[in-house]
């Protein structure tokens, strides 16, 4: 008789659901940018830092560690002077990359709409504050 694997029923809307910790990781902007940046292949720390504008070493290091801890990337250190460290997406990381790339593409396609909506809301709030 063949055994089938049972998958627990998760409810992301439940406050104690473990999927919430997964969402915390993948919803982070640095995670999104790093995962997609690694799709083409292995990169070194400084390559990633140069490629992802605005990320500091203080943010890059813990984000890479988190991605490694959660099985999304592999860190490979070489015993050279200076030390050489490379980062590569794992199979699991690749399964996430299409979704994050789609989110990035959506952001680019709709950024102007979002900016107009913000500007309109700010103007409404400003008028409401002036009349109060």
| pLDDT 10s digits, 55-74 | 999 999 999 999 999 999 99
Model pTM? Answer: 0.83
The pLDDT, as a whole number, for residue 131 is 75
Q: What is the pLDDT of residues 43-56, one digit of tens each?
A: 999 999 999 999 99
Average pLDDT of 118-125? 94
Average pLDDT of 111-115? 97
Report the number of distinct structural domains present in the chain.
1
Domain for residue 47, yes or no?
yes
Asked if the model's pLDDT at residue 130 lies above 90, the reply is no
Give the range of the structural domain holding residue 30, as residue numbers without chain letter. 19-103
Instruction: Find the CATH number of the domain harbouring 56.
Output: 1.10.10.10
SS3 for 59-127, per residue? HHHHHHHHHHHCCCEEEEEECCCCCEEEEEECHHHHHHHHHHHHHHHHHHHHHHHHHHHHHHHHHHHHH
């Amino acid at each position: 008789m063949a055994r089938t694997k049972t998958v627990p029923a998760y409810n992301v809307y439940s406050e104690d659901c473990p999927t919430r910790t997964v969402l915390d990781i993948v919803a982070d902007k640095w995670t999104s940018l790093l995962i997609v940046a690694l799709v083409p292949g292995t990169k070194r720390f400084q390559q990633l830092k140069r490629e992802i504008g605005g990320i500091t070493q203080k943010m890059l290091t813990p984000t890479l560690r988190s991605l490694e801890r959660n099985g999304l990337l592999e860190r490979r250190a070489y015993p050279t002077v200076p030390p050489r460290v490379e980062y590569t997406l794992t199979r699991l990381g690749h399964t996430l990359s299409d979704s994050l790339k789609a989110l990035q593409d959506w952001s680019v396609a709709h950024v102007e709409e979002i900016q107009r909506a913000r500007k309109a809301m700010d103007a409404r709030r400003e008028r409401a504050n002036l009349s109060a």
